[in-house]
């Protein structure tokens, strides 16, 4: 077993592939963090705690327990006891008091990993993949029992954490804060990397050295958000893609979150992550339980790149599920940027006809097919076909598309309701709202109260009617606004603060029903582009729309940032028309294809209208996508360029797990005058093997030379012979 308990030292040791994580039970039953980092052989490193130094343990120094509490590295810090750093848990007890004091009671170690009731979480495919440690603690005065869960994966540098609370007392307890993970590092020598942005600019990477005080990211929008992703990494100051230490944290949750690094008075760092405590509340009646979502922690001793590849492997094997988990996704064409709301059956069939000739495999009908929706101001919630647009009905349209040899996919925004809809007129109380307060509109819509089962049931019955009426093989599940007036007309006053989490649980419940009842449907999540690109969503859908920004050059940053912890196989990426609808940029069709090939690949344009030359290059582009997709989906991803620092060029690679082949992609962003060639060092190859580039089979170069000396990227000439910005090139290296 890769988790052990040392009875004599009362210490726990968790070993992931090349990582050790250690903590121990100290005086009075507090759980004290000892070490997290590269694997070490020692059973116990308790000497690191310096408990013999001042301040001594509580028993030895009764006079000043508070100093002990404020300096002890805690595994899970409690509010009110003298630990003035960020707390993980806070309650309101039957007396209205907020102190909570969790002490060790017992533990259990076993093979495998348990599921988290009602929540997405990483899983094991067989019990040998991981071991789990459960530690039960109790707050004696209230009877609040906490179980801390730790799972260590044997073949990945991954440790996951979560916590379950149970009220074993007689009186209700209100939980006002319950974070899922806390790591107390012994120094402050780290940079914090976060993924930040906005609509059409999601997950831009930011990096800054830690400083005294608290630096945090969060979401209080009801979803993980465009602005901050529930990911953060602490990396050594010298860490780059290939060297240095990196600790990555990712929250498997799609609602309000909070992540914070705090540099303390003694220049130590406490990192915490969990549900955002702001406006959170959960009442636990006697006997009731609360399950907090999971935090995935990845350690890398060889830079940020290795951290990312560990996340990618974990998510591809142990988070993403379903039929498409290991499959190439069909090349789709989506009509959103092609038509927006202005389409009908004839238009869609004309797109499908042209697309099918070019080798495109699926037509996705985006927003605007239901109720009387002609723009974004109506009909959400009325999930029945608008036969004025979809003349002949949905089945007719789908059959016609199928006859062309193409699959058919459809867009829904299940969580929403337009004020101008039959649903809202019949059930105005079904919107998330606060009694007697005006409801704030956003994109002319409200959010349905998914904490209510009857609301979910009704929406699902409408979706089912549509899905059962025709051969639908793909769903784009969208979510286009954030929560305001957080409240539910169905919850009593003392449970109003539960709305945030209950809403997210409701979304998960409906996604679970959908994926269980329709296992063959490919589900793609989306939220105004990429506002819900989080591991919670990946548990239900193997791919997520990365951003509404489809410009190839903007996508370099977005996809680079996203790849920090999410696999490329999950990134929705399409070739769109130019000038690009978001930034107005013109880029070569070829480059748009090369950049979209990093993700799931498809088209988002009116194929009947684009320039003939572009249209004619689609079959070749699809062939190229098909040729490399297995490598992209299953290989190791190496970032070479970094457009956050260098806007002249970008490059990256996908290397087969057995290192037998590699795809190298290069994008010239801004052309430089009078330069001849640029040398770029490859990554991830077998140094002892020889490789040739597919177009030059006679020139064999060692992996060592390709990685240490590099290759020459000559001037790039794009299709029409103009040297210039935004051109791209791919090279395929094969082991000789
Ligand atoms: C969101 C999505 C888009 C499109 C529109 C439709 O913005 O991100 O791809 O589906 O909604 O309204």
pLDDT (tens digit per residue) in 540-552: 999 999 999 999 9
Give the C-alpha separation, 227 to 458, whole Å. 32
Cα–Cα distance list, 82 to 90, 214, 562, 596, 735 (Å): 13, 18, 39, 52, 60
DSSP state of 261: E
Which pLDDT score, from 0 to 100, does residue 442 have?
Answer: 97
DSSP state of 451: T
> Model confidence at 722, in pLDDT bands (50, 70, 90)?
very low
CA of 41 to the centre of ligand 1 (A): 52
Cα–Cα distance list, 126 to 121, 123, 239, 312, 318 (Å): 15, 9, 34, 19, 10
Residue range 145-152: average pLDDT?
A: 98
Residue range 634-656: average pLDDT?
A: 96
CA of 478 to the centre of ligand 1 (A): 7
What ligand 1 atom has the least distance to the C-alpha of 604? 9
Rg (CA), the chain: 27
Total Cβ atoms within 10 A of residue 289: 12
Q: Is 274 in the pocket of ligand 1 (CB under 6 A)?
A: no
DSSP states of 496-531: GGGHHHHHHHHHHHHHHHHHHH-TTSEEEE-BTTBT
> Model confidence at 717, in pLDDT bands (50, 70, 90)?
low
Which residue among 198, 339, 340, 367 is best mutated to probe the pocket of ligand 1, counting the most ligand atoms within 8 A of its Cβ?
A: 367
CA of 406 to the centre of ligand 1 (A): 22
Residue nearest to atom 12 of ligand 1 (CA): 367
Q: Are 189 and 282 in contact (CB under 8 A)?
A: no
What does the pLDDT look like over 571-603, one tens digit per residue?
999 999 999 999 999 999 999 999 999 999 999
Longest dimension (CA), the chain: 83
User: Among candidates 172, 181, 103, 88, which has minimal Cα distance to 135?
Assistant: 103
What are the residues whose beta carbons fall under 8 Å from the beta carbon of 64, sequence distance 6 or more? Answer: 55
Give the C-alpha separation, 521 to 288, whole Å. 36
Give the C-alpha separation, 324 to 320, whole Å. 9
Give the C-alpha separation, 154 to 19, whole Å. 10
Q: Is 528 in the pocket of ligand 1 (CB under 6 A)?
A: yes
CA of 654 to the centre of ligand 1 (A): 30
Between β-strands 407-412 and 474-477, what pairing exists: parallel, antiparallel or unpaired?
Answer: parallel
Which residue among 225, 334, 338, 366 is best mutated to probe the pocket of ligand 1, counting the most ligand atoms within 8 A of its Cβ?
A: 366
What ligand 1 atom has the least distance to the C-alpha of 548? 8
Q: Helices in 319-380 by DSSP H: which ranges?
A: 336-339, 345-358
What ligand 1 atom has the least distance to the C-alpha of 545? 8
310, pLDDT greater than 90: yes
Q: Are 515 and 543 in contact (CB under 8 A)?
A: no
CA of 71 to the centre of ligand 1 (A): 49
Which pLDDT score, from 0 to 100, does residue 699 have?
Answer: 97
Cα dihedral 302, 303, 308, 311 in deg (nearest 10): 50
What ligand 1 atom has the least distance to the C-alpha of 529? 8
What are the residues whose beta carbons fall under 8 Å from the beta carbon of 336, sequence distance 6 or more? Answer: 366, 367, 411, 604
H or E element at residue 636: strand 636-639
The second-level CATH assignment, the architecture, of 3-318 is: Distorted Sandwich (2.70)
721, pLDDT greater than 50: no
pTM: predicted TM-score of the whole model, two decimal places: 0.98
652 Cα distance to chain centroid: 21
Q: Is 366 in the pocket of ligand 1 (CB under 6 A)?
A: yes
> Model confidence at 64, in pLDDT bands (50, 70, 90)?
confident
Which pLDDT score, from 0 to 100, does residue 49 have?
Answer: 84
Total Cβ atoms within 10 A of residue 376: 17
Residue range 132-136: average pLDDT?
A: 98
Under DSSP, is residue 184 helix (H, G, I), strand (E, B) or coil?
A: strand
User: Among candidates 257, 1, 296, 265, which has minimal Cα distance to 128?
Assistant: 1
What are the residues whose beta carbons fall under 8 Å from the beta carbon of 558, sequence distance 6 or more? Answer: 197, 201, 202, 203, 204, 530, 546, 547, 549
Residue range 255-262: average pLDDT?
A: 98
Q: Are 502 and 280 in contact (CB under 8 A)?
A: no
718, pLDDT greater than 70: no
Q: Are 226 and 530 in contact (CB under 8 A)?
A: yes
Supply 37's token pair: 């980092």
CA of 480 to the centre of ligand 1 (A): 7
Supply 111's token pair: 């093979």
CA of 482 to the centre of ligand 1 (A): 14
Cα–Cα distance list, 143 to 80, 103, 124, 181, 292 (Å): 17, 11, 32, 22, 18
Q: Is 480 in the pocket of ligand 1 (CB under 6 A)?
A: yes
Which residue among 341, 375, 480 is best mutated to probe the pocket of ligand 1, counting the most ligand atoms within 8 A of its Cβ?
A: 480
> Model confidence at 377, in pLDDT bands (50, 70, 90)?
very high
Residues with catalytic roles? 478, 548
User: Among candidates 602, 41, 683, which has minimal Cα distance to 303?
Assistant: 683
Which pLDDT score, from 0 to 100, does residue 723 have?
Answer: 63
Give the C-alpha separation, 275 to 177, whole Å. 8
DSSP states of 538-554: HTT-SEEE--S---HHH
What does the pLDDT look like over 479-533, one tens digit per residue?
999 999 999 999 999 999 999 999 999 999 999 999 999 999 999 999 999 999 9
Give the C-alpha separation, 404 to 206, whole Å. 46
Q: Is 548 in the pocket of ligand 1 (CB under 6 A)?
A: yes
Residue range 338-345: average pLDDT?
A: 98
Q: Is 604 in the pocket of ligand 1 (CB under 6 A)?
A: no
Q: Are 588 and 578 in contact (CB under 8 A)?
A: no
Which residue is associated with the tokens 């130019």? 578
Percent of the chain exceeding pLDDT 70 equals: 98
- What is the CB-side half-sphere exposure of residue 45 using CA atoms within 13 A? 17
Q: Is 526 in the pocket of ligand 1 (CB under 6 A)?
A: yes
Which pLDDT score, from 0 to 100, does residue 675 have?
Answer: 72
Beginning with the edge strand found earlier in the chain, give each strand of the sheet holding 543-545 in spatial order: 571-572, 543-545, 522-525, 474-477, 407-412, 362-365, 332-334, 602-604, 575-576
What ligand 1 atom has the least distance to the C-alpha of 411? 10
Which residue is associated with the tokens 């190791």? 636
Q: Is 477 in the pocket of ligand 1 (CB under 6 A)?
A: no
Cα–Cα distance list, 669 to 568, 653, 666, 716 (Å): 21, 17, 9, 11
What does the pLDDT look like over 606-628, one tens digit per residue?
999 999 999 999 999 999 999 99
What are the residues whose beta carbons fall under 8 Å from the beta carbon of 109, sequence distance 6 or more? Answer: 1, 3, 4, 5, 131, 132, 133, 134
Residue range 622-636: average pLDDT?
A: 98
Across 241-277, b (16+ Cβ under 10 Å) vs e yields bebbbbbbbbbbbbbbbbbbbbbbeeebbbbbbbbbb
Which residue among 476, 548, 550, 558 is best mutated to probe the pocket of ligand 1, counting the most ligand atoms within 8 A of its Cβ?
A: 548
| Mean pLDDT of the residues in the chain | 96
106, pLDDT greater than 80: yes
Residue nearest to atom 11 of ligand 1 (CA): 528
DSSP state of 439: P
CA of 369 to the centre of ligand 1 (A): 13
Q: Are 381 and 370 in contact (CB under 8 A)?
A: no
> At what angle are helices 589-596 and 612-634 packed, to 10 degrees?
20
What does the pLDDT look like over 151-180, one tens digit per residue?
999 999 999 999 999 999 999 999 999 999
Which pLDDT score, from 0 to 100, does residue 720 have?
Answer: 46
Peptide bond into 465 cis (omega under 30): no
Supply 398's token pair: 């789908």
Q: Are 697 and 622 in contact (CB under 8 A)?
A: no
389 Cα distance to chain centroid: 36
């Amino acid at each position: 077993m890769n988790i052990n308990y040392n009875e004599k030292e009362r210490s726990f040791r968790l070993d992931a592939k090349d990582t050790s994580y250690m903590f121990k039970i100290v005086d009075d039953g507090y759980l004290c963090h000892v070490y997290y980092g590269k694997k070490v052989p020692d059973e116990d490193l308790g000497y690191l705690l310096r408990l013999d130094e001042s301040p001594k343990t509580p028993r030895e120094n009764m006079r000043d327990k508070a100093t002990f509490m404020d300096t002890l590295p805690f595994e899970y810090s409690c509010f009110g006891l003298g630990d003035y750093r960020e707390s993980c848990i806070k309650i309101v007890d039957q007396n209205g008091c907020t102190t909570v004091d969790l002490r060790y009671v017992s533990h259990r170690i076993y093979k495998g990993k348990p599921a988290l009731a009602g929540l997405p979480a990483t899983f094991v495919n067989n019990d040998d993949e991981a071991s789990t440690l459960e530690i039960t603690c109790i707050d004696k005065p209230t009877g609040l029992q906490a179980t801390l869960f730790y799972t260590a994966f044997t073949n990945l540098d991954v440790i996951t954490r979560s916590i379950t609370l149970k009220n074993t007392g007689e009186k209700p307890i209100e939980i006002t804060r319950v974070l899922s993970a806390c790591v107390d590092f012994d120094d402050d020598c780290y940079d914090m990397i976060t993924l930040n942005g906005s609509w059409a600019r999601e997950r831009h990477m930011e990096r800054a050295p830690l400083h005294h005080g608290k630096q945090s990211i969060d979401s209080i929008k009801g979803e993980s958000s465009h602005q901050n992703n529930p990911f953060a990494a602490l990396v050594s100051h010298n860490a780059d893609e290939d060297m240095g230490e990196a600790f990555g944290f990712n929250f498997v949750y799609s609602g309000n979150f909070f992540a914070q690094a705090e540099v303390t008075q003694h220049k130590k760092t406490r990192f915490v992550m969990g549900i955002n405590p702001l406006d959170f509340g959960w009442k636990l009646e006697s006997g009731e339980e609360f399950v907090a979502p999971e935090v995935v922690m990845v350690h890398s001793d060889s830079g940020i790149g290795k951290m990312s590849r560990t996340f990618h492997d974990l998510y591809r094997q142990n988070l993403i599920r379903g039929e498409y988990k290991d499959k190439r996704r069909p090349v789709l064409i989506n009509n959103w940027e092609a038509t927006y709301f202005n389409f009908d059956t004839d238009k869609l069939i004309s797109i499908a006809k042209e697309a099918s000739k070019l080798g495109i495999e699926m037509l996705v009908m985006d927003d605007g097919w239901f109720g009387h929706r002609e723009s974004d101001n109506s009909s959400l919630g009325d999930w029945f076909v608008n036969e004025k647009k979809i003349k002949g009905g949905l089945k007719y349209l789908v059959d016609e598309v199928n006859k062309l040899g193409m699959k058919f996919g459809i867009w829904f925004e299940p969580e929403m309701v337009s004020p101008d809809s039959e649903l809202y007129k019949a059930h105005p109380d079904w919107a998330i709202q606060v009694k007697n307060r005006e409801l704030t509109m956003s994109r002319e819509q409200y959010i349905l109260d998914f904490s209510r089962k009857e609301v979910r049931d009704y929406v699902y019955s409408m979706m089912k009617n549509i899905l059962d009426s025709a051969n639908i093989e793909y769903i784009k599940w969208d979510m286009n606004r954030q929560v305001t007036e957080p409240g539910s007309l169905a919850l009593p006053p003392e449970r109003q603060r539960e709305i945030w989490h209950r809403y997210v649980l409701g979304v998960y419940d409906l996604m679970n029903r959908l994926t269980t009842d329709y296992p063959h449907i490919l589900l793609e999540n989306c939220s105004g582009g990429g506002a819900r690109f989080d591991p919670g969503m990946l548990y239900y859908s193997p791919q997520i729309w990365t951003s509404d920004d489809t410009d190839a050059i903007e996508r370099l940053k977005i996809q680079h940032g996203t790849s920090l912890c999410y696999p490329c196989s999950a990134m929705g990426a399409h070739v769109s028309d130019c000038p690009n609808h978001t930034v107005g940029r013109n880029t070569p069709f070829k480059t748009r294809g090369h950049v979209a090939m990093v993700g799931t690949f498809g088209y988002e344009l009116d194929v009947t209208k684009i320039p003939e030359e572009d249209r004619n290059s689609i079959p070749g582009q699809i062939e190229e996508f098909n040729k490399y997709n297995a490598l992209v989906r299953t290989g190791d991803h190496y970032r070479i360029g970094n457009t956050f620092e260098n806007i002249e060029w970008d490059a990256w690679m996908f290397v087969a797990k057995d290192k037998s082949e590699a795809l190298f992609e290069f994008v010239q962003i801004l052309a430089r005058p009078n330069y001849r060639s640029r040398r770029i060092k490859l990554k991830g190859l077998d140094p002892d093997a020889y490789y040739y580039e597919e177009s030059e089979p006679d020139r064999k170069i060692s992996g060592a030379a390709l990685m240490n000396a590099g290759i020459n990227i000559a001037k790039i000439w794009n299709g029409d012979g103009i040297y210039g910005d935004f051109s791209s090139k791919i090279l395929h290296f094969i082991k000789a």
